[in-house]
């Protein structure tokens, strides 16, 4: 085995590689830019080398500097991780030239497989089915028209250099061809520095299914099973799982053998992934090969029990594969969710900042690969991936439940993340039923929001959690206890019951809380449905509340602001307004939009920040029209017009903080 290696990467994947190295007794040298001086992975590594300024092209992409550092620190090999230089043939060649081992395939294998048209030609030679189309590059409109006519619409224009889904364009008809060709060439030039594009059939509503392979230097190749990565946004994977519901034993064997054939044909050694697209009839077609460790490799590790990084190191050092195809067994199911610093409400724009509060999920059958902690700074310079949460179960449904529970309790504060978005996907009935395709998100989501309303039971559970926290807080105030010293169940003397009125998004719920003889057990009525709720060792800590409801353990994320409680659960987020019956009687005049209109002045329904004003003085508006958007407790809510009419005056400004009851706009007459 190697004595010491350099890891030419950062963040979660650097930590992932270090973990295996530690176990194998391999020393590690990490590298870092100015932006990463305080990152966790630096601490985890045995040594660290400073590369340069934050921008990747001045640090993580400086080939000479990486190789020099490896040599200076007596490393024998370089692990490139994924992204950055991992699929850079020139770098792999330079590493070998310097007398170091590149932990990955040879430069020539990377070169041929890195080009989508060359690899497609190679696949054809290896007898691998490919997407119908042409591998010659297209530059003229006439060429494109001829090709599209032969393939049949819809067609896909693809950059040969490709990667990250950039530049790809779907063309549905001839009249869309010219514009798309132009746009595709421009984007391709911008992203990859050359404008070679080619055309293939666009497979409608496909699944993305890929095969993990492993090859040694002696012609042994095995496949470790498939991963389904159909949940994508803009051609980028978000949720991955293995096995795939669309693949049975016979198909797995065919795809696996096909992938191995391609690897052999390419003279491939080390770990790699052959990506296929699968149409609705179950036909699969090669799309590309990734010549590196994939982001989603943990799901394969969870079901095979193998350590892919260890195997990469063993192949690189020249060991033969320690097992044959028949020795590989797959147990259970694994699902991974990618947690990214991006804001689903703002078109998934990357979010940056300091992580001010951080509680990562932990538990059985759960693996969290991450490179962040409280205090970490997420910058604009690198990938937005913060963490990968990976769950295992005997069955798909078990794995899904473990993952949902984990995400319910994954609290990241300080910047926007997609935690609730991916959780909403995992909770969507179509996902539960395994009805997957690469346009899943387009079909079921709009502006980052799930189209389907959550089932009423989910709202009930959320209202219970919110009310318990509110109830506890009231008791704490009454008894002047220090917040953290209180245990919900312990604070009360049981009495008949405590009633609350809970105003949700569209409904008003009556809740009744009653402590049972056991002070940690409650009967809680939501309207007429009773739930048995246990607050085991009451935990409302770091914005998370654990409850057992009707025997099922759940965790909610909650935040209070007076009698408003924000709650997130299973991908849904809601703000509940909680009142005692007496408060409700007094507040009767306020809660509904209509009642917030007092002598033509529209009052603000909740405290927050004005993020958008959609009307101006003199506008005619209709009842229900969105006038002002308020951000309160991480959510945006629209204040709708309570009536038809004309706006006499807009009192608030964008960016202004408002309290409940502040005047927003004034109506005429
Ligand atoms: P990248 O290098 O960006 O990963 P890929 O060729 O792997 O590019 O394609 C990325 C994604 O684009 C695929 O996972 C799939 O969702 C979609 N895609 C690629 N080729 C096709 C095709 N011919 N038809 C339909 N979708 C495709
Ligand atoms: P942490 O240790 O994560 O900062 P604590 O639970 O110790 O969180 O609470 C710190 C302070 O934050 C407390 O004084 C409490 O008033 C406030 N706080 C705790 N939980 C919430 C919440 N869910 N919403 C709003 N404020 C909270
Ligand atoms: Mg790909």
If you average pLDDT over every residue of the chain, what do you get?
Answer: 92
Whether residue 154 is preceded by a cis peptide bond, meaning omega within 30 degrees of 0, is yes
Q: 494 pLDDT exceeds 50?
A: no
Residue 440 lies in a domain: yes
Both 226 and 190 in one domain: the answer is no
Residues, the chain, total? 669
**Where is average pLDDT lowest: 114-118, 190-194, 399-403, 425-429?**
190-194
What pLDDT shows up at residue 162?
Answer: 80
Q: Are 289 and 272 in contact (CB under 8 A)?
A: yes
CA of 275 to the centre of ligand 3 (A): 6
What pLDDT shows up at residue 459?
Answer: 95
Residue 649, domain CATH:
2.40.50.100
What pLDDT shows up at residue 472?
Answer: 84
**Where is average pLDDT lowest: 25-29, 90-94, 571-575?**
571-575
Q: What atom of ligand 1 comes closest to residue 237's alpha carbon?
A: 14
Beta carbon of 359 within 6 Å of any ligand 2 atom:
no
Residue 272 lies in a domain: yes
- For the packed helices 63-72 and 89-97, what is the interaxial angle rounded to 10 degrees? 30
Both 399 and 509 in one domain: the answer is no
CA of 342 to the centre of ligand 1 (A): 22
Residue 17, domain CATH:
3.40.50.20
Given ligand 2 and candidates 465, 542, 555, which is best to mutate, with the most ligand atoms within 8 Å of its CB? 542
Q: What atom of ligand 1 comes closest to residue 164's alpha carbon?
A: 3
Residue 311 lies in a domain: yes
What pLDDT shows up at residue 642?
Answer: 84
pLDDT digits (tens, 9 = 90+) for 430-473: 999 999 999 999 999 998 999 999 999 999 999 999 999 998 88
3-class SS of residue 644: coil
Q: What atom of ligand 2 comes closest to residue 540's alpha carbon?
A: 6
Both 424 and 502 in one domain: the answer is no
Q: 483 pLDDT exceeds 70?
A: no
Residue 324, domain CATH:
3.30.470.20
Both 68 and 162 in one domain: the answer is no
Residue 118 lies in a domain: no
Both 466 and 484 in one domain: the answer is yes
Residue 181 lies in a domain: yes
Q: 590 pLDDT exceeds 60?
A: no
DSSP state of 298: H
**144's tokens:** 């494109």
Both 289 and 226 in one domain: the answer is yes
Both 401 and 277 in one domain: the answer is yes
* Number of other CB atoms surrounding residue 161 within 10 Å: 19
In what order do the strands lie in the sheet containing 645-650?
597-598, 601-603, 663-667, 645-650, 620-621
DSSP-assigned beta bridge partners for residue 392: 334
CA dihedral (630, 383, 390, 635) in degrees, to 10, reads 0
Q: What is the rounded CA–CA span in Å between residue 336 and residue 443?
A: 21
Given ligand 2 and candidates 467, 471, 481, 483, which is best to mutate, with the most ligand atoms within 8 Å of its CB? 483
Beta carbon of 131 within 6 Å of any ligand 1 atom:
yes
What pLDDT shows up at residue 492?
Answer: 46
Choosing from 82, 103, 124, the residue where a domain stops is 103
What pLDDT shows up at residue 433?
Answer: 98
Both 262 and 385 in one domain: the answer is yes
Residues 6+ apart with CB under 8 A from 250: none
**629's tokens:** 């958007």
Q: 132 pLDDT exceeds 60?
A: yes
Q: 587 pLDDT exceeds 90?
A: no
Domain that holds residue 147: 133-201
What pLDDT shows up at residue 608?
Answer: 85
- For the packed helices 419-426 and 396-408, what is the interaxial angle rounded to 10 degrees? 150
Both 388 and 284 in one domain: the answer is yes
Q: Catalytic site residues?
A: 288
CA of 596 to the centre of ligand 2 (A): 31
The pTM (predicted TM-score) of the whole model is 0.89
Q: 596 pLDDT exceeds 90?
A: no
- Burial per residue of 196-220, b for 16 or more beta-carbon CB atoms within 10 angstroms, e otherwise: bbbbbbbbeebbbbbbbbbbbbeeb
Pick the closest to residue 9 from 22, 23, 25, 45 (CA basis): 45
DSSP-assigned beta bridge partners for residue 665: 602, 650
The domain tally of the chain equals 5
pLDDT digits (tens, 9 = 90+) for 620-645: 999 888 899 988 776 778 888 888 89
The arithmetic mean of pLDDT across residues 315-325, rounded, is 97
- Burial per residue of 453-486, b for 16 or more beta-carbon CB atoms within 10 angstroms, e otherwise: ebeeebbbbbbbbbbbbbbbbbbbeeeeeeeeeb
Higher pLDDT residue, 322 or 586?
322
What pLDDT shows up at residue 485?
Answer: 39
Per-residue pLDDT band for 63 (boundaries 50, 70, 90) equals very high
What pLDDT shows up at residue 589?
Answer: 54
The arithmetic mean of pLDDT across residues 654-665, rounded, is 89
Residue 480 lies in a domain: yes
Both 322 and 283 in one domain: the answer is yes
The arithmetic mean of pLDDT across residues 57-85, rounded, is 97
Longest dimension (CA), the chain: 87
- Burial per residue of 496-507, b for 16 or more beta-carbon CB atoms within 10 angstroms, e otherwise: eebbbbbbbeee
The arithmetic mean of pLDDT across residues 97-103, rounded, is 98
* Number of other CB atoms surrounding residue 518 within 10 Å: 10
Q: 482 pLDDT exceeds 50?
A: no
Q: 285 pLDDT exceeds 70?
A: yes
The residue nearest atom 9 of ligand 1, judged by CA position, is 165
Beta carbon of 167 within 6 Å of any ligand 1 atom:
no
Q: Are 155 and 131 in contact (CB under 8 A)?
A: no
Given ligand 1 and candidates 115, 133, 165, which is best to mutate, with the most ligand atoms within 8 Å of its CB? 165
pLDDT digits (tens, 9 = 90+) for 506-529: 789 999 999 887 778 899 999 999
**591's tokens:** 């809660």
What pLDDT shows up at residue 495?
Answer: 53
**177's tokens:** 């061809």
The arithmetic mean of pLDDT across residues 30-37, rounded, is 96
CA dihedral (71, 76, 80, 86) in degrees, to 10, reads 90
Beta carbon of 250 within 6 Å of any ligand 2 atom:
no
The arithmetic mean of pLDDT across residues 299-310, rounded, is 98
Beta carbon of 484 within 6 Å of any ligand 2 atom:
yes
Q: Are 339 and 414 in contact (CB under 8 A)?
A: no
Residue 486 lies in a domain: yes
3-class SS of residue 40: helix
The residue nearest atom 21 of ligand 2, judged by CA position, is 559
Going 237 to 243 to 248 to 249, the CA torsion angle's sign is positive
To 5 degrees, how large is the angle CA 295–CA 301–CA 307? 95
Both 18 and 161 in one domain: the answer is no
Residue 502, domain CATH:
3.30.700.30
Residues 6+ apart with CB under 8 A from 438: 205, 206, 207, 208, 230, 232, 235
Both 98 and 240 in one domain: the answer is no
Helix, strand, coil percent values for the chain (each to nearest 5): 30, 35, 35
Residue 111 lies in a domain: no
């Amino acid at each position: 085995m190697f004595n010491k290696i350099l890891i030419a990467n950062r963040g979660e994947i650097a930590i992932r590689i270090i973990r295996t190295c530690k176990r194998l007794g391999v020393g590690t040298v990490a590298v870092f830019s100015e932006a990463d001086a305080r990152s966790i992975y630096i601490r985890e590594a045995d040594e660290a080398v400073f590369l340069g300024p934050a921008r990747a092209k001045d640090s993580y992409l400086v080939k000479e500097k990486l190789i020099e550092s490896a040599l200076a620190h007596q490393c024998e090999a370089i692990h490139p991780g994924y992204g950055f230089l991992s699929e850079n043939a020139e770098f792999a060649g330079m590493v070998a030239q310097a007398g170091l081992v590149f932990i990955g395939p040879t430069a020539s294998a990377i070169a041929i497989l890195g080009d989508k048209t060359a690899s497609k030609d190679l696949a054809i030679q290896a007898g691998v089915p490919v997407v119908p189309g042409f591998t010659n590059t297209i530059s003229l409109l006439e060429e494109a028209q001829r090709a599209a006519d032969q393939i049949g619409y819809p067609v896909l224009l693809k950059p040969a250099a490709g990667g990250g889904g950039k530049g790809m364009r779907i063309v549905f008809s001839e009249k869309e061809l010219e514009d798309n060709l132009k746009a595709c060439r421009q984007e391709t030039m911008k992203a990859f520095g050359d404008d070679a594009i080619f055309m293939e059939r666009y497979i409608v509503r496909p699944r993305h299914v890929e095969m993990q392979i492993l090859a040694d230097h002696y012609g042994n190749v095995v496949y470790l099973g498939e991963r389904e990565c159909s949940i994508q946004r803009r051609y980028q994977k978000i949720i991955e799982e293995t096995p795939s519901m669309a693949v049975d034993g016979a198909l797995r064997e065919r795809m696996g053998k096909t992938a191995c054939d391609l690897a052999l044909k390419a003279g491939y050694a080390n770990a790699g992934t052959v990506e296929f697209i699968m149409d609705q009839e179950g036909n699969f077609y090669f799309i590309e090969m990734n010549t590196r460790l994939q982001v989603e490799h943990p799901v394969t590790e969870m079901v095979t029990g193998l350590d892919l990084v260890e195997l990469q190191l063993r192949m690189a050092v020249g060991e033969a594969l320690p097992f044959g195809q028949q020795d590989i067994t797959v147990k259970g199911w694994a699902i991974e969710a990618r947690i990214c610093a991006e804001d689903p409400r703002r078109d998934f724009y990357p979010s940056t900042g300091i992580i001010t509060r951080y509680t990562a999920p932990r538990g059985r059958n759960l693996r969290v690969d991450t490179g962040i902690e409280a205090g970490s700074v997420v910058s604009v310079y690198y990938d937005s991936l913060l963490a990968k949460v990976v769950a295992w179960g005997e069955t798909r449904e078990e794995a899904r439940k473990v993952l949902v529970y984990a995400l319910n309790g994954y609290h990241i504060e300080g910047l926007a993340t997609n935690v609730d978005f991916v959780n909403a996907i995992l909770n969507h009935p179509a996902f539960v039923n395994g009805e997957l395709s690469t346009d899943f998100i387009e079909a079921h989501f709009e502006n980052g929001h799930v189209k389907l309303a959550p089932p009423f039971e989910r709202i009930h559970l959320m209202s219970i959690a919110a009310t318990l926290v509110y109830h506890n807080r009231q008791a704490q105030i009454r008894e002047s206890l220090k917040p953290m010293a209180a245990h919900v169940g312990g604070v009360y003397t049981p009495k008949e019951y405590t009633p609350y009125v809970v105003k949700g998004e569209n409904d008003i719920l009556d809740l009744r809380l009653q402590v049972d003889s056991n002070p940690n057990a409650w009967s809680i009525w939501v309207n007429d449905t009773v739930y048995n709720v246990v607050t085991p060792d009451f935990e409302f800590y770091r914005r998370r509340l654990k409850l057992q409801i009707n025997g099922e353990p759940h965790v909610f994320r909650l935040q209070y602001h007076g009698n408003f409680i924000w709650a997130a659960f299973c991908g849904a987020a809601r703000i509940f307004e909680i009142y005692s019956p007496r408060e409700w009687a007094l507040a009767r005049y306020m809660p509904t939009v209509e009642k917030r209109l007092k002598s033509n002045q529209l009052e603000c329904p909740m405290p927050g920040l004005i993020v958008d004003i959609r009307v101006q003085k003199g506008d005619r508006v209709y009842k229900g029209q969105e006038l002002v958007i308020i951000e309160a407790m991480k959510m945006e809510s629209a204040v709708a017009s309570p009536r038809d009419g004309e706006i006499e005056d807009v009192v608030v400004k964008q960016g202004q903080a408002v309290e409940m009851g502040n005047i927003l706009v004034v109506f005429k007459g």
